[in-house]
A and B are shown apart, each in its own frame.
Chain A
Amino acid sequence: MDYLRPASLSEVFPALAAGARVLAGGTDVYPGQGARIAGPVVDLTALPGFRGITRDAGGLRIGACTRWTDLAEAALPPACAALQQAARQVGGRQIQNAGTLGGNLCNASPAADGVPPLLALEAEVELVSVTGPRRVPLSAFLLGPRKVDLRPGEVLAAVCVPQAALAGVSAFEKLGARAYLVISIAMAAVRLEVAGGAITRAAVSVGACGPVALRLAPVEAALVGPVQGAVDRARAADFSALSPIDDVRATAAYRRSAAVELVARAVGRCL
């Protein structure tokens, strides 16, 4: 069978063992292919439990094949605002209707818009194989451009956000050279927990400014403190962990300064 679209997970593993490539929404896989993709292919989009968002005491579970549109339209806590804002800015409407969160993470583009919001949510990924599931923090799952910690025989089943990270509010800022359908020059997600006029916890991440998107601990540390002046503290913080490159979209120097500005704006929008 060249193309398998199973309705049960147990059928996925033999296909993987036989060397099938994984397909979800296809929006990253199809560009650059001919009239059809060469098999064997295992398509995850008909698997039960792979699409949709559920919430329990432990937190949020987002199935790997959840579409961007599903995310954008879901009723989620304000901490997920950045993720929902990113969902509305991935490609255009058609890409949002087909592309999945799992595909975005597994494709591991440095400019993947789903990553910074999920890093700010302390997300973990749930990976499954014949031997059962394992959980890995998203930050450890992403190894580099187009490189993830996905072992042979494994697929990404879900993205999990722990309950503790669902506190506070978040915002996403994307910078591209046109209004829609644009790959980010740089983007940032910020999640803040505020109590009594002070930021008690901050999560800040920046994408497209290095091989993988990063949390920026020095910026987070600088943000903790009075709400007053937080935007300025963000601007003055240490962003040296970023390592952007020059490419057709922008220069490294520009990306570095834009990242600071995007973080500052996202902070401002959270407050």
Chain B
Amino acid sequence: MIRFRLNGKDVGVDAPGGERLSEVLRERLGARGTKVGCDAGDCGACTVLMDGRSVCACLVPVAQADGAEIVTVEGETPELLRLKDAFLRHGAAQCGICTPGMLIAGAELLVRTPRPSEAEAMEALGGVLCRCTGYRKILAAVCDATPAGATEAPPAGQAVGCAIARLDGAAKVAGDVFGADFAPEGALIVKAVRSPHAHAEFGFGDLAAWAARPGVAGVFTAADIPGRNAFSVIPPFADQPAIAASPARFRGECVALVAFEPGAEARLDGFPVSWTEIPPLLTPAEAEADGAPLLHPDRAANLLIEGRVQKGDAGAALAASAHVVEGRFTTQYVEHAYIEPEAGVAWMDGDTLVIRACTQAPGMDREDTALILGLPLERVRIIPSAVGGGFGSKLDISLQPLIGLVALKTGRPARMVYSRGESMASTTKRHPAEMTGRIGCDAQGRITGLDFEGRFNTGAYSSWGPTVANRVPVHVSGPYRTPHITARARAVHTHGPVSGAFRGFGVPQGALWQETLYDRLAGQAGLDRLEFRILNALRDGDASATGQVLQAVGIGPCLEALRPRWREALDWAAQAPGRGVGVASCWYGCGNTALPNPSTIRIGLTRAGDIVLHQGATDIGQGSNTVIAQIAADALGVPVHALRLLGGDTAITPDAGKTSASRQTYVSGKAAQKAGGSLRAALLRLANAGQGATLTLAPGKVTVTEGATRRVIDLATLPTDPRGYAVSAEETYDPPTTKLDANGQGTPYAVYGYGAQLVELSVDPALGTVTLHRITAAHDVGRAINPQLVTGQIEGGIAQGIGLALMEDYLSGRTENLHDYLIPTTGDVPPIDSLILEIPDPEGPFGAKGLGEHVLIPTAPAILNAIRHATGASLTRTPALPHRILAALEGRE
């Protein structure tokens, strides 16, 4: 028996001494506030205090905890309490999966150093990764962990625009309940057998014998799938099996499942599968070569799809241009690297299959799982768990049909937690891109035309490849007037990892090509790089590349807002060699491209007087639980804290669509505004009151006041409506878009957001290393519903842009862990100044535009432009690793 003190209480466990402390805490003691992101010391999510020292619980043999004092996030030491409060106040928790580790690492520091400097906080937290926040708010919270008085809650009608703490924040700082953190008694443990090869035939030996081994509850293969073993986020492209039948088309593809009894050693060694490797097509060039074998027989030349936009005559315009630049740019596979690997549990509730897992898209999960398992939609219920980051990859189903299959076949609860390696190998990536083309301008520097050709490695299956191929040509002009354009993007299949959605759907790659060429073009035209962009910025009434006449265009004001800092930065850079300044812009259409994209929000008033918001827009950390509530509360005219939120459980909440394409604030927000407005109208009707009346809530009643007149609605006297409420409303909003024609002309989006970022950095001329000094980010969000969440998105997006630009490189089979796949740490994100611009969009709720993806787009090109300014070296490939920068400096690349 190993005994220790856990958060001040004596505990004893009968575990093998070599068991990980994290495993003991979570699985034997049920203390699942401590998270596991890698089981390798690389993420720090599992950080606990052992005798006052922070350690990774995943690396500690429980025997070493014998007699020790262990403190976890569930603890209530004075430092932890101060930090939890500061994290809430500063908005330092987004998805919350890193929060327990951050709090513990911070608590160790505060004991040593009660008022740490930023540098001390950075170093102390350097061993905990966060993929959401960009660390700035976390550092601020740790440096400001003094108890503050309670902040005043905004009154009725004034929530929009207010930086209230996130409504789900208390759960985040307590250690939220993520996909791996809920385990019904007796749940089977499901493990996947995955292909170790990019392309291989396989066959099974004696599966029945394996299934009969002690501790094994069942073995499942493609042959066991009762429904259609093919899915895609875009149904007409359905091509990906939940469990592959031979051959496997990428490394990490699932070929079989084993369900183990709880408590059994869940090991797959010796599983009877044999592999025969087939030469893989690893690059689009190989896949498009004459005679290359086809991954999917119906897709000639391995082409999934080509997207194109054609306006005017780019060839002629370029031929007549005073200046033309031509260039190519290549990008890498990028991993989402959320700190929460995929996890969830499935069980049968009578006839209904219930799946509680991390997801960005409960509605799509439900449809796909039902199809794969051959169930009618009504028999599948999806309950989203707290989501520890998604960034696009958790839009696609992963383990939902797998645990669903096991639960369906065995009738028992089935639980699955991906290892870090599995998560990285088997889920989607950002598309690697090879982009070439030309951009021209006239003698005054006005853009004349653009010609672009992009080839995107879409991997083995379709996923979001069609979206990327369609989005890139629409956006590749950047937010600039471009009268003549020809842009084509091909998504090509290879036996690489499946490329899918990752913050920006290909637009960040296109921006790297376009914005780096813009710097060269400005140089040729003899113009300042910022002024060149301002000169060409789209303005209200201009037409986009798709011929859409735009309103509420914020790019000009964003770029102009950077002017003062730009001049200071240029002066700063001139003072020493190796310093550089770069700028780049973004624009991004919110919601599906030229496709329907509805959201539905329900809001009800119970007979007891509670207001319930059925908020189905999955909050993956970005803040929809808070923003949608702020919008709904103001539309209804009640204080936001009066709302009770119900999550995206498909059994109780209407479909608010997926959390993607920066659509939730705009689309679901608009539905919430309409729903709040409808409920208000219904209440005013009941009270015979006019629009200006105010609503006051009390148990069982609503008081409607209009001038001197008051009317009390006694809720208990009202009949219950079909939705179970005294009064309720449900509204759907679908953005007004049109289909694109054969030339890509039309109105693909109803709302666009805009932004521009300015990077100041220095390059070490001998080592090629880059030090970021400051990033200034100007973003037009239409209306900042919650300014703290806005800056949180900006900082987090910038951190991912830094990773894309400088360090991240996913190499299948080689960087499948967080040791070799490097994402930014606390010390890699410089101070960020956010300039929030509010140019209200006539369509968006309270004028709001989307933001989530925009924020990442300008960062990487602005960094490359600053490197070029600092050194003269034009890099045409990301990541700009030190050895590549040095080679470019020496003219070798």
CB of A163, distance to nearest CB on chain B (Å): 31
Are A36 and B56 within 8 A (Cβ)?
no
Main SS of the interface on chain B?
A: loop
Residues of A in contact with B, size category? 35 or more
Are A93 and B60 within 8 A (Cβ)?
no
Are A43 and B826 within 8 A (Cβ)?
no
A250 CB contact (under 8 Å) in B42, B125, B822, B881: B881
Are A36 and B18 within 8 A (Cβ)?
yes
Are A248 and B17 within 8 A (Cβ)?
no
Q: Using CB atoms, name the residue of chain B closest to A36.
A: B19
Are A250 and B827 within 8 A (Cβ)?
no
Are A177 and B807 within 8 A (Cβ)?
yes
Chain B contact residues, CB within 8 Å of chain A: 15-20, 23, 27, 39-42, 44, 47, 50, 53-56, 58-61, 63-64, 66, 105, 108, 122-129, 265-267, 766-769, 806-807, 809, 811, 814-815, 817, 819-820, 822, 824-828, 881-883, 886-887
CB of A83, distance to nearest CB on chain B (Å): 18
Query: 12 A–B contact pairs at CB < 8 A?
Result: A4-B17, A34-B267, A35-B23, A36-B15, A37-B61, A43-B17, A92-B44, A92-B825, A175-B882, A179-B826, A181-B44, A250-B882
Are B41 and A91 within 8 A (Cβ)?
yes
Q: Which of A146-154, A206-214, A253-261 contacts B (4 or more CB under 8 A)?
A: A253-261
> Among residues 51 to 70 in chain A, which have CB atoms less than 8 Å away from a CB atom of chain B?
69
Q: With A31-B819, A93-B123, A95-B127 given, is the CB distance from A178 to B824 under 8 Å? A: yes
What per-residue 1/0 map shows which CB atoms of A222-258 lie under 8 Å from chain B?
Answer: 0000000000000000000000000011110110011
A2 CB contact (under 8 Å) in B17, B44, B827, B886: B17
Of B50, B125, B127, chain A has the most CB atoms within 10 Å of the CB of B127
Are B814 and A248 within 8 A (Cβ)?
yes
* A182, B15: Cα distance in complex, Å: 32
Contacts of A179 in B (CB 8 A): 122, 126, 825-828
Are A3 and B16 within 8 A (Cβ)?
yes
A185 near B: Cβ within 8 Å?
A: yes
A39 near B: Cβ within 8 Å?
A: yes
CB of B314, distance to nearest CB on chain A (Å): 38
Contacts of B61 in A (CB 8 A): 3, 23, 26, 30, 36-37, 41, 43
Q: Using CB atoms, name the residue of chain A closest to B885.
A: A254
Contacts of B15 in A (CB 8 A): 36
Contacts of A185 in B (CB 8 A): 882
Are B825 and A261 within 8 A (Cβ)?
no
Contacts of B824 in A (CB 8 A): 178
* A95, B126: Cα distance in complex, Å: 11
CB of A96, distance to nearest CB on chain B (Å): 8
B54 CB contact (under 8 Å) in A33, A45, A93, A183: A93
Contacts of B825 in A (CB 8 A): 92, 178-182
Q: With A30-B20, A261-B766 given, is the CB distance from A98 to B827 under 8 Å? A: no
Are A93 and B127 within 8 A (Cβ)?
yes
Q: With A2-B16, A27-B59, A178-B824 given, is the CB distance from A257 to B23 under 8 Å? A: no
Are B822 and A178 within 8 A (Cβ)?
yes
Are A180 and B126 within 8 A (Cβ)?
yes
Contacts of B822 in A (CB 8 A): 177-178, 182
Q: With A175-B767, A175-B769, A178-B828 given, is the CB distance from A2 to B18 under 8 Å? A: yes
* A33, B123: Cα distance in complex, Å: 28
> Among residues 1 to 40 in chain A, which have CB atoms less than 8 Å away from a CB atom of chain B?
2-5, 23, 25-27, 30-39
CB of B656, distance to nearest CB on chain A (Å): 37
Are A98 and B18 within 8 A (Cβ)?
no
CB of A258, distance to nearest CB on chain B (Å): 6
Contacts of B60 in A (CB 8 A): 26, 98
Q: With A179-B825, A183-B819 given, is the CB distance from A92 to B16 under 8 Å? A: no
Are A98 and B59 within 8 A (Cβ)?
yes
Main SS of the interface on chain A?
A: loop
Q: Using CB atoms, name the residue of chain A closest to B47.
A: A94
CB of A21, distance to nearest CB on chain B (Å): 10
CB of B449, distance to nearest CB on chain A (Å): 39
* A4, B63: Cα distance in complex, Å: 9
What per-residue 1/0 map shows which CB atoms of A176-218 lie under 8 Å from chain B?
Answer: 0111111101000000000000000000000000000000000
Are B63 and A5 within 8 A (Cβ)?
yes
* A133, B56: Cα distance in complex, Å: 33
* A173, B23: Cα distance in complex, Å: 37
Q: With A43-B64, A94-B55 given, is the CB distance from A254 to B16 under 8 Å? A: no
* A98, B16: Cα distance in complex, Å: 20
Contacts of A35 in B (CB 8 A): 19-20, 23, 27
Q: With A3-B17, A178-B822 given, is the CB distance from A32 to B40 under 8 Å? A: yes
B883 CB contact (under 8 Å) in A41, A182, A250: A250
B815 CB contact (under 8 Å) in A26, A34, A248, A250: A248
Are B55 and A97 within 8 A (Cβ)?
yes
Are B41 and A258 within 8 A (Cβ)?
no
Q: Using CB atoms, name the residue of chain A closest to B27.
A: A35
* A97, B54: Cα distance in complex, Å: 7
Q: Using CB atoms, name the residue of chain A closest to B127.
A: A92
Are A92 and B267 within 8 A (Cβ)?
no
CB of A221, distance to nearest CB on chain B (Å): 23
Are B767 and A258 within 8 A (Cβ)?
yes
Are A178 and B807 within 8 A (Cβ)?
yes
Contacts of B18 in A (CB 8 A): 2-3, 23, 36-39, 41
Contacts of A30 in B (CB 8 A): 20, 39-41, 58-59, 61
Q: Using CB atoms, name the residue of chain A closest to B811.
A: A248
CB of B690, distance to nearest CB on chain A (Å): 60
Extra 17 A-B pairs, beta carbons < 8 Å, given A5-B17, A5-B63, A35-B27: A3-B63, A30-B41, A30-B58, A30-B61, A31-B39, A35-B19, A35-B23, A43-B64, A93-B126, A94-B56, A95-B56, A97-B53, A180-B127, A181-B42, A249-B820, A250-B882, A254-B886
Contacts of A94 in B (CB 8 A): 41, 44, 47, 54-56, 59, 105, 127
* A97, B126: Cα distance in complex, Å: 13
Q: With A178-B828, A248-B815 given, is the CB distance from A98 to B55 under 8 Å? A: yes
Are B41 and A95 within 8 A (Cβ)?
yes
CB of A160, distance to nearest CB on chain B (Å): 26
CB of B13, distance to nearest CB on chain A (Å): 12
Q: Using CB atoms, name the residue of chain B closest to A91.
A: B127
CB of B193, distance to nearest CB on chain A (Å): 16
Q: With A98-B55, A179-B826 given, is the CB distance from A93 to B23 under 8 Å? A: no
Contacts of B42 in A (CB 8 A): 31, 181
CB of B119, distance to nearest CB on chain A (Å): 11
* A235, B376: Cα distance in complex, Å: 73
Q: Using CB atoms, name the residue of chain B closest to A26.
A: B59
> Among residues 104 to 133 in chain A, which have CB atoms less than 8 Å away from a CB atom of chain B?
none
Q: Using CB atoms, name the residue of chain B closest to A5.
A: B63
Q: With A175-B767, A248-B820 given, is the CB distance from A43 to B63 under 8 Å? A: yes
Q: Using CB atoms, name the residue of chain A closest to B820.
A: A248
Are B41 and A248 within 8 A (Cβ)?
no
Are A251 and B63 within 8 A (Cβ)?
no
